[in-house]
Structure 1
Amino acid sequence: MDDANTEPRTHRAVVELAGVGVHRYTTGQVILDGIDWAVRAGEHWALLGANGAGKTSLLRLIGAMGHPTVGTVEVLGERLGRVDVRELRARIGLVSTAQPVPLRETAHTVVLTGATGTVQPLWKNYDAATRERAALLLAEMECEELADRPFGVCSGGQKARVLLARALMSDPALLLLDEPFNALDLPSREDLIDAMWRLAAGRPDLATITVTHHLEELSPAIGHVMLLRGGRALARGPAGEVLTGDRLTECFGRPIEVTRHDGRWLARSGRAEQAGPFASRG
């Protein structure tokens, strides 16, 4: 009997990377090198690192938007290079402020486009059940009052929650969040963190990977973290073991102090020339 078919759903890997490297063909520059990583159903990961560490390149591989130069990438049981990436992308939810969406259409219509994975709505593809699902997802994100508002006039925080609802339209097993807190003010950030916390509680099999620059943007649902530096995995594992002052100091190249309160993280940095790293707390 095939072990993969008998393994409990909540233990199955939805992402598996082995010896993954990405090299820029024109210059030979190494973007990613020797990445081994597994993300299992129900796990919530954060991907942290300085600008240029390789976070975006790694997320592109997992989102089936690129291929590795070396190594293997398997997403939702499919290996890149052996699968139609268009079909695979339809099974992956993505939230990014860089996503093209129809700004003049209503928030409800933007969510509907998640059902077809298109920029513009394909009206003949949306039956009554699909329209109802879009409305329910807006309600789940606590922004149902935005249903008839043009997406382009929504605030940054409102747009982020609408895009999260859009990403859920296909009922994905894997959700990728590429700097979803970009340019959000404090109340909007907290609204989105609350939405992601509720999402994790309500969908126990959903796996998420969040790329961010700030520890205070991590919801209490984040249980695992990978630190990238120079295209390599500096550390990965349970958040409490990875998010230490010593490891973040090594990752970002300056002294960092880490604290935790009620499941939320905070990182503070002293002057770069200060001798010795801060101690990790919490």
Structure 2
Amino acid sequence: MTNVIDMQDVSWKRQQETILTNVNWNVSRGEHWAVLGLNGSGKTTLLNMVNGYIWPTTGKVSVLDQQFGRTDIRELRKSIGWVSSSIQERIKGTAYGEDVVVSGKYASIGLYDVPNNEDYKKAYQIMEQVGCSHLTNRTYQTCSQGEKQKILIARGLMGSPDLLILDEPTSGLDFISREELLSTIDNLAIQKDAPTIIFVTHHIEEILPVFSHTLLLHQGTVFDKGERSAMLTSTCLSEFFGTSVRVEWHRDRAWMTLRD
């Protein structure tokens, strides 16, 4: 497998309204990408298309070398891990952490099959890997927001995916919890057998060095894309956001402020 995501001249319309326009995006194996954009830029629509929940109005989409229209989307989704607030909202508060993780094997919300001992053994190993092994035998509703996000990342890894999508995973976290979660993501991304990671955010300081490339999405189209260092500059982002900003780098992370 060489192309994890390949979108060619993609557009998508909903009730005569164009949401995505002329999107060309290629993610190769071995790359981790950040997707940066404001609310309403089309990020959620883009992710829904990668997951096969919507199909392009025009253009071609291939995910994990499987071209839409020539593959079983339900089977393809088993190779994609997805962490988003929409999943968190559907999980029962009384579910135990390890059961939430195991449900990722079946790409379901809740357990409708009977897991075996090997399933739980794998779940415990993954929970240890992402730093939430202490949440076994804890109900989901008693976990902090940061702990819930770690459980969801572990759930996303349960099916040994080739592609892991993290849709604004730091949303709602305080500074310390955010940095702890980013450290978890960083440790995951550098593993030899790590899946390709797509990290969606509003905040440039969350784009860690491990994310080699960045896609800038603006009003449903690709404003620019390329290596992280080339995208996260004062000039590029001032044009992207439509306002004058200053980007400064600390410990190989970019931080942005408005210019006076």
TM-score w.r.t. structure 2 length?
0.95
The residue type paired with residue 64 of structure 1 is: G
Q: Residues 141-173 of structure 1: CA distance to partner in whole angstroms, max 9, x if unpaired?
A: 111111111011100100111100000000101
Q: Report the equivalent of 1:218.
A: 207
The residue type paired with residue 34 of structure 2 is: A
- Following TM superposition, by how much is the alpha carbon of 1:249 offset from its aligned partner in structure 2, in angstroms? 1.3
Q: Is the 8 A contact 2:10 2:23 kept in 1?
A: yes
Could you tell me how far apart the structure 1 residues matched to 2:178 and 2:44 are? 21
Q: Report the equivalent of 1:141.
A: 130
Aligned residue for 1:98, secondary structure, equals helix
Mapped pair 1:91 → 2:79: yes
Q: Residues 195-217 of structure 1: CA distance to partner in whole angstroms, max 9, x if unpaired?
A: 11111111455211111000122
Alignment match of 2:32 (pick from 41, 44, 51): 44
Mapped pair 1:163 → 2:163: no
Aligned pairs for 1:12-161 within 5 A: 12-24=2-14, 26=15, 28-99=16-87, 100-124=90-114, 126-161=115-150
- Following TM superposition, by how much is the alpha carbon of 1:259 offset from its aligned partner in structure 2, in angstroms? 1.5
Alignment match of 2:242 (pick from 253, 264, 274): 253
- Following TM superposition, by how much is the alpha carbon of 1:269 offset from its aligned partner in structure 2, in angstroms? 1.6
TM-score w.r.t. structure 1 length?
0.88
Could you tell me how far apart the structure 1 residues matched to 2:192 and 2:120 are? 21
Q: Is the 8 A contact 1:32 1:54 kept in 2?
A: yes
Q: Is the 8 A contact 1:193 1:217 kept in 2?
A: yes
- Following TM superposition, by how much is the alpha carbon of 1:75 offset from its aligned partner in structure 2, in angstroms? 0.4
Q: Report the equivalent of 2:170.
A: 181
Q: Is the 8 A contact 1:44 1:209 kept in 2?
A: yes
Could you tell me how far apart the structure 1 residues matched to 2:153 and 2:49 are? 20
Could you tell me how far apart the structure 2 residues matched to 1:227 and 1:123 are? 40
Could you tell me how far apart the structure 2 residues matched to 1:49 and 1:98 are? 19
Count of aligned positions: 258
The residue type paired with residue 80 of structure 1 is: F
Structure 1 residue ranges, 4+ long, deviating more than 4 angstroms after superposition: none
Could you tell me how far apart the structure 1 residues matched to 2:50 and 2:202 are? 19
Aligned residue for 1:33, secondary structure, equals strand
Q: Is the 8 A contact 2:189 2:210 kept in 1?
A: yes
Mean Cα deviation higher: 168-177 or 246-255 = 246-255
Q: Who wins on radius of gyration, i.e. which is larger?
A: 1
